[in-house]
A and B are shown apart, each in its own frame.
Chain A
Amino acid sequence: MSTKPTSFLVFINGSIENAEVNDYDELYLRFSYVIGKDWEICSGLDEGTTQIAHKSVQVGSKIVFNFPLEVTFRATNPFGWPQLVLSGYGLDTFGNDVVRGYGTTHIPINPGRHRVRIPLFTPRSSSRFQQFLGWIMGRRPEFVDPKVVAFNAGREMTRVRSHGYVQVVFNVVTKDMDALGYRIQSKHALPTGSKQSENTDSAQADNHYS
């Protein structure tokens, strides 16, 4: 007696590893997931905040978070596949909490371990004067709702400056996608030790997306 499943599960664990930034020394990140209407979170936190992390004194040091992520999604339709939305904040020279960048990526679809390098960007002020005011008063332009970076609509109105990256590691397992008829890998797929990419790199232990 086998009943056909009606939904599939996507199980993610991993961590927000580090941030590579040049201009400042400390950062904390808020993360959340943006999912479609055919999706729900079965377990795990759907949003949270990392610790406030500083760089070490070594030159070229990254800001290390090592922050755990663990979440399980249930869905009936791959449309609306979850996206991890990050927003970074830190203190400026005057001691104000300012936004340091937003970033987003889709959770990888293929089972396995994936390392994703997410660019961070901040909205730009409309004019030099506004930029100066923002710097003085510690009120820089920010998005009212960080989740807007995960959507298509309205993006043409935003002007941003990108600066820095956040590295996140995802381990992905899916359940019942095959039973529902979804194929996420071709028959002649390369083993998970290498990536399908037009730039041939040496095979590494995890799939690297930069």
Chain B
Amino acid sequence: MAEVHVIGQIVGGSGFPESSLFCKWKVQMGSAWRVLQGDQEGQTQVDDPSDEPMANWCHPIDLHFATKGLQGWPKFHLQVWHQDAYGRNELYSYGFCHIPVSPGYHELDCVTWRPKGTLIEELKTQFIGGSSQLKNPDLVSSSAELYKLRTVSMGKVHLRLHIIVRDFEKYGVEF
């Protein structure tokens, strides 16, 4: 079995309408993959930056995968949430990002989007807060069903990841 280590951080998010953000993250992978060590999901701290446009989460990621095949290479599902002054949480956006395939250091910007509702729903979001959410968040990375959605762009999530691979040469895989 070949192994992949993902070591790095979800550094922060920028380009969102307001700060005071946090990120829920989850790793999704195909059936050939298994997580040997590390947490598969988590939630970052809520950061309200004092003078920077970027919310800093610095959330550590340390995952150890074992795999029998290349299909279903793991990816991150990200959800950026906003916490307002009263402590209410509302979803800002969804995004997904494949874990880089080559060993080494990578800086990634994961773009995100949110579902766009009808005119009434958008007005509600504007005045009352809250937002339209997907019934099934796994839709974010399913290429077959996204055509049904209408979405609005949101900001970016920044990640810094180091990838270490092991024993792929035995299977003839070249990086």
Contacts and interface: CB of A to CB of B under 8 A. Distances in A.
What size tier do the contact residues of chain B reach?
Answer: 35 or more
Interface of B is mostly: strand
Contact of A156 (B45, B52, B55, B64): B45
A80 interface: yes
Contact of A151 (B56, B60, B108): B60
B116 interface: no
A60 interface: no
A121 interface: yes
- Pairs of residues from A and B, 6 with the lowest C-beta to C-beta distance, nearest first: A156-B43, A119-B56, A162-B56, A186-B102, A158-B45, A109-B162
B92 to A, nearest CB: 16
Interface in A116-160: 118-119, 121, 124, 149-153, 155-156, 158-160
Contacts of B46: 158-160
A181 to B, nearest CB: 5
B59 A155 contact: yes
A117 B119 CA distance: 43
A209 interface: yes
A81 B45 contact: no
A199 B158 CA distance: 12
A161 interface: yes
26 contacts: A78-B7, A78-B164, A79-B36, A79-B38, A80-B62, A81-B62, A103-B58, A109-B105, A119-B11, A119-B58, A153-B39, A155-B43, A156-B45, A159-B45, A160-B46, A161-B49, A162-B47, A162-B48, A181-B166, A183-B164, A184-B103, A184-B104, A186-B175, A187-B174, A196-B104, A209-B160
Interface of B: 5, 7-9, 11-12, 22, 36-39, 42-52, 55-56, 58-62, 64, 83, 102-109, 160, 162, 164-168, 174-175
Contacts of A197: 106-107
Contacts of A81: 5, 7, 62, 162
Contact of A195 (B9, B50, B105): B105
A74 interface: no
A196 B160 CA distance: 11
A185 interface: yes
A88 B5 CA distance: 31
Interface of A is mostly: loop
Nearest to B168: A183
A79 B37 contact: yes
Nearest to B12: A119
Interface of A: 22-23, 36, 77-81, 83, 103-106, 108-110, 118-119, 121, 124, 149-153, 155-156, 158-163, 180-187, 189, 195-199, 207, 209
Contact of A109 (B7, B52, B107, B174): B7
Given A104-B60, A197-B107, A209-B107, A162 B55 contact: yes
A108 B48 CA distance: 27
A164 to B, nearest CB: 9
Contacts of A23: 50
Contacts of B102: 186
Nearest to A22: B51
A162 B52 contact: yes
Given A78-B64, A155-B45, A106 B104 contact: no
B48 A106 contact: no
Contacts of B5: 78-79, 81, 182
Nearest to A158: B45
A152 B47 contact: no
B50 A155 contact: no
Contacts of B56: 119, 121, 162
